[in-house]
């Protein structure tokens, strides 16, 4: 049986370990689809027996190459995504038979045009608002179009029965990942925010559903056992922080590190690396495509206008996790999140919850500055 540090290490190494697993799956004849965004209904791939994977876009390594084509003042996530594609440095991109994009932010939409010259890119047209009947009709038709595309591309049929089963499986994964982060409801939490992030981020690079479920169940059990035995890594004095903003992982772990080196502990992630993806479940009754439509369209991303669901989730997490403060991380040149910062500030001010907004990119150059700001914020909590 593995010990807890081994389990954390294995999640932290999951993305690299996953390369070999992916190569072997390709050799066995599995189709692979690369995705970028939480709005993509991955249940369609699960139902088709196609492996899906989040594409590498969390390091600065290939940004200089991307900047030969894309403007420098573009979000690092978009530049890194494109850079990994043109340099062939991301094995997941390399192995992807198709890539699914989505019309979230303008920079991504235009980048997909260039990406389409290298890969088979299918772009889903996401509405910018969630509550109009026309938005729902558009998104439902986009989900059905993606289903057709997958069926043609991989020569499979996605029956209603298979889709229902996929919904059930993915719901199981969501529930387990939610159970992982809800361990940090305890005070002090039984894991650091960095450890929690490593599990949430690493789990997406486990491609076998049954193994993933088993590993998550074991992880939850082992964390609980260590905590009950008094082996917790977090001081009782640590200030409890909820993170919001752009997706995290890879280079942006630096934000979590500076918070936790300054006397804070991240207890929950409202962003796409955490609760935004795992808080809710897809309905398991009724037409599965309609259930997917309602679930995905309700994701509270800043590309939606208005975007009340982000604030609803953030407010709920702050209350549940007894947050001492909220730290927002926005990526440079991400206009939708940057504009929404004021709305988040006002929302939290009305609830007397201290708030710090940090803007960053994928380079380590601003770490000292981030540390100074995080330390000053935690000091005043």
Binding site for ligand BJ8 (CB under 6 A): 37-39, 75, 77-78, 104-105, 107-108, 246-247, 272, 299, 301, 303, 331, 334, 336-337
Nearest approach in angstroms of CB 301 to ligand BJ8 is 3
Nearest approach in angstroms of CB 297 to ligand BJ8 is 11
Nearest approach in angstroms of CB 177 to ligand BJ8 is 15
Residue 100 or residue 234: which is nearer to ligand BJ8 going by CB? 100
Residue 65 or residue 361: which is nearer to ligand BJ8 going by CB? 361
Can you tell me the distance from the alpha carbon of 62 to that of 113, in angstroms, rounded to the nearest whole number?
A: 19
Can you tell me the distance from the alpha carbon of 26 to that of 248, in angstroms, rounded to the nearest whole number?
A: 28
Residue 188 or residue 274: which is nearer to ligand BJ8 going by CB? 274
- Closest among 208, 224, 252 to 366, alpha carbons compared: 252
Segment holding 122, helix H or strand E: strand 121-124
The contacts of residue 326 (CB under 8 Å, 6+ apart) are 241, 242, 243, 244, 314, 318, 344, 348, 353, 354, 355, 356
The distance between the two most distant Cα atoms of the chain, rounded to a whole number of Å, is: 59
The values of phi and psi at residue 246, to 5°, are -70, 160
For residues 272 and 309, the answer to whether their CB atoms sit within 8 Å is no
Three-class DSSP category at 350: coil
- Closest among 251, 201, 232, 225 to 61, alpha carbons compared: 251
The contacts of residue 371 (CB under 8 Å, 6+ apart) are 258, 261, 262
For residues 224 and 190, the answer to whether their CB atoms sit within 8 Å is yes
Residue 219 or residue 252: which is nearer to ligand BJ8 going by CB? 252
Residue 241 or residue 331: which is nearer to ligand BJ8 going by CB? 331
Segment holding 244, helix H or strand E: strand 239-245
Nearest approach in angstroms of CB 56 to ligand BJ8 is 14
Q: Which residue is it, tokens 């439509």?
A: 293
Nearest approach in angstroms of CB 102 to ligand BJ8 is 7
Can you tell me the distance from the alpha carbon of 234 to that of 30, in angstroms, rounded to the nearest whole number?
A: 42
Residue 38 or residue 262: which is nearer to ligand BJ8 going by CB? 38
Q: Give DSSP secondary structure letters for 34-74.
A: EE--TTS-THHHHHHT-EEEEPP-S-STTHHHHTTTS-TTS
The two tokens of residue 265 are 């502990």
Nearest approach in angstroms of CB 299 to ligand BJ8 is 5
Q: How far apart are the first and last CA of the chain?
A: 40
Residue 108 or residue 119: which is nearer to ligand BJ8 going by CB? 108
Nearest approach in angstroms of CB 249 to ligand BJ8 is 11
Residue 96 or residue 192: which is nearer to ligand BJ8 going by CB? 96
Residue 77 or residue 374: which is nearer to ligand BJ8 going by CB? 77
Nearest approach in angstroms of CB 204 to ligand BJ8 is 12
Nearest approach in angstroms of CB 107 to ligand BJ8 is 5
Nearest approach in angstroms of CB 305 to ligand BJ8 is 13
Residue 154 or residue 205: which is nearer to ligand BJ8 going by CB? 205
């Amino acid at each position: 049986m593995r010990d807890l540090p081994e389990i954390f290490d294995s999640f932290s190494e999951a993305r690299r370990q996953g390369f070999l697993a992916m190569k072997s799956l390709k050799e066995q004849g599995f189709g692979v689809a690369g995705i970028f965004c939480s709005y993509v209904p991955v249940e369609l791939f699960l139902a088709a027996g196609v492996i899906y994977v989040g594409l590498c876009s969390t390091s600065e390594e290939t940004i200089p190459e991307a900047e030969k084509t894309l403007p420098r003042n573009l979000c690092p996530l978009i530049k890194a995504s494109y850079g990994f594609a043109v340099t062939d440095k991301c094995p997941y991109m390399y192995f992807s038979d198709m890539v699914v994009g989505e019309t979230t932010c303008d920079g991504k939409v235009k980048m997909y045009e260039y990406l389409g010259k290298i890969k088979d890119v299918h772009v889903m047209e996401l509405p910018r608002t969630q509550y109009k009947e026309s938005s729902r009709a558009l998104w439902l038709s986009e989900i059905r179009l993606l289903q057709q595309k997958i069926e043609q591309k991989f020569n499979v049929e996605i029956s209603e029965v298979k889709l229902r089963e996929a919904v059930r499986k993915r719901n199981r994964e969501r529930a387990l990942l939610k159970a992982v982060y809800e361990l940090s409801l305890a005070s002090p939490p039984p894991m650091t925010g960095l450890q929690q992030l490593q599990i949430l981020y690493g789990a997406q690079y486990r491609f076998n559903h049954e193994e993933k479920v088993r590993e998550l169940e074991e992880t939850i059990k082992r964390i609980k056992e260590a905590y009950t035995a008094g082996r917790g890594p977090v001081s009782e004095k640590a200030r409890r922080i909820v993170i919001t903003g752009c997706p995290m992982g890879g280079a942006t772990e630096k934000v979590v590190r500076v918070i936790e080196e300054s006397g804070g502990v991240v207890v929950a992630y409202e962003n796409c690396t955490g609760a935004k993806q795992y808080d809710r479940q897809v309905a398991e009754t009724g037409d599965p495509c309609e259930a997917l439509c309602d679930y995905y369209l309700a994701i509270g991303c800043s590309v939606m206008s208005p975007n009340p669901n982000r604030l609803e989730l953030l407010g709920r997490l702050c209350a549940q996790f007894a947050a001492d403060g909220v730290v927002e991380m926005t990526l440079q040149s991400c206009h939708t999140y940057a504009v929404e910062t004021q709305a988040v500030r006002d929302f939290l001010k009305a609830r007397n919850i201290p708030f710090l907004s940090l803007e960053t990119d994928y380079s380590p150059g601003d770490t000292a500055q981030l540390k100074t700001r995080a330390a000053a914020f935690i000091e005043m909590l």
